[in-house]
């Protein structure tokens, strides 16, 4: 089986600090130490990622906007012709910051998990987070008008929604009511929650993780067509079941899995996106060495035996829990034990 020589994309969870406490948080951000690096080491990690020549580096978290150094990172990526993408909850976004984000990043993604404050805020576990997200979108929209009038190159902005049972019935409303409020918005993406982090916990699996029927309904072509018709024609609408993140052996062999390197805030590289377990740090070893090591994990007998039989969302959640415990460090295992007791 041939492995890709480099990742197509990198997702760097640049900090675990976050003002929100999302029920599906893949990184448990806001509930654990931020593990953020200082400026010099952030740029060292950036340089290591540039050497890999990915198509894009995604800065996520946690809340990346808590780190002013993200603009230094974006500048280095752009200087080396690598896509720079940032994800944000929009909490506390100012007009000046909105314009700077669009000037610095190729794409700014605001996370919105519902068409109403009642639904979004319940998922995000912070009152006012829906209003903050929509205010951020309004500021990005206003900044895009100014930048367009001045003919200055700037990035696109849009919404990504993590689809769970609580918000699955609001996608049409997001297209018909939310999207038209922001004429400059370029995209609206709906992706099924994957069983990672808090979203792999048994209680989340029972109450919020989409059922198999729910996933099928999300990616049904007729529904996608309906969502697109409800949105302004300038907005690109997409849906995904995110099964490419499962990393099941047959999907990997068929080239239907993602080629992504996931980096933790301190520069550690996960062996497989969404699952616990690292293969070293970009501060200590070249990215190419860590990528090769990560690719080897896909062929580990335990990985293949655990993921090979998965055919359902509940089976995926159970497999994720097994993988996290098998490959997690002592600190990870302690965190998983605390999660079970909560």
pTM (2 d.p.)? 0.95
CA angle 51, 261, 293 (to 5 degrees): 85
List the chain pLDDT tens, one digit each, 342 residues: 456 789 999 999 999 999 999 999 999 998 888 899 999 999 999 999 999 999 999 999 999 999 999 999 999 999 999 999 999 999 999 999 999 999 999 999 999 999 999 999 999 999 999 999 999 999 999 999 999 988 888 999 999 999 999 999 999 999 999 999 999 999 999 999 999 999 999 999 999 999 999 999 999 999 999 999 999 999 999 999 999 999 999 999 998 898 999 999 999 999 999 999 999 999 999 999 999 999 999 999 999 999 999 999 999 999 999 999 999 999 999 899 887 655
DSSP 259-328: -EEEE-TTSEEESSTTSS-EEEETTTS-HHHHHHHHHHHTT-HHHHHHHTT--SHHHHHHHHHHHHHHH-
Tokens 């029927």, located at residue: 213
Query: What 3-state DSSP class applies to 109?
Result: strand
Alpha-carbon span 339 to 342, nearest angstrom: 5
Alpha-carbon span 157 to 174, nearest angstrom: 16
Specify the pairing of strand 236-240 against strand 107-111.
Answer: unpaired
């Amino acid at each position: 089986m041939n492995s890709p020589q480099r990742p197509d994309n990198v997702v760097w969870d640049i900090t675990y600090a976050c003002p929100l406490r999302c029920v599906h948080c893949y990184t448990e951000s806001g509930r654990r130490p931020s593990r953020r690096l200082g400026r010099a080491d952030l740029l060292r990690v950036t340089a290591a990622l540039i050497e890999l020549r990915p198509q894009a580096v995604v800065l996520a978290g946690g809340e990346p906007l808590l780190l002013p150094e993200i603009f230094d990172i974006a500048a280095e990526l752009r200087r080396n012709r690598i896509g720079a993408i940032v994800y944000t909850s929009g909490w506390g976004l100012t007009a000046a910051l909105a314009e700077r984000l669009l000037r610095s990043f190729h794409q700014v993604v605001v996370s919105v998990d519902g068409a109403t404050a009642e639904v979004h805020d319940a998922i995000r576990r912070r009152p006012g987070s829906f209003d903050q997200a929509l205010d951020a979108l309004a500021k990005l929209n206003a900044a895009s008008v100014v930048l367009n009038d001045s003919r200055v190159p700037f990035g696109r902005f849009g919404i990504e929604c993590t689809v769970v049972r609580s918000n699955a019935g609001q996608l049409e409303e997001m297209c018909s009511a939310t999207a038209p409020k922001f004429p400059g918005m370029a995209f609206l993406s709906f992706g099924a929650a994957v069983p990672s982090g808090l979203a792999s916990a048994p209680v989340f699996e029972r109450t919020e993780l989409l059922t198999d029927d729910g996933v099928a309904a999300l990616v049904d072509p007729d529904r996608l067509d309906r969502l697109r018709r409800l949105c302004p024609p300038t907005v690109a609408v997409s849906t995904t079941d995110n099964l490419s993140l499962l990393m099941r052996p047959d999907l990997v062999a068929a080239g239907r899995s993602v080629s992504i390197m996931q980096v933790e805030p301190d520069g550690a590289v996960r062996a497989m996106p969404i699952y616990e377990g690292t293969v070293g740090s970009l501060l200590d070893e070249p990215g190419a060495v860590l990528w090769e090591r990560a690719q080897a994990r896909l062929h580990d007998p335990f990985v293949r035996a655990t993921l090979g039989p998965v055919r359902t969302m509940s089976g995926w959640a159970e497999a994720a829990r097994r993988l996290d415990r098998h490959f997690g460090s002592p600190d990870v295992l302690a965190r998983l034990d605390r999660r079970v007791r909560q």
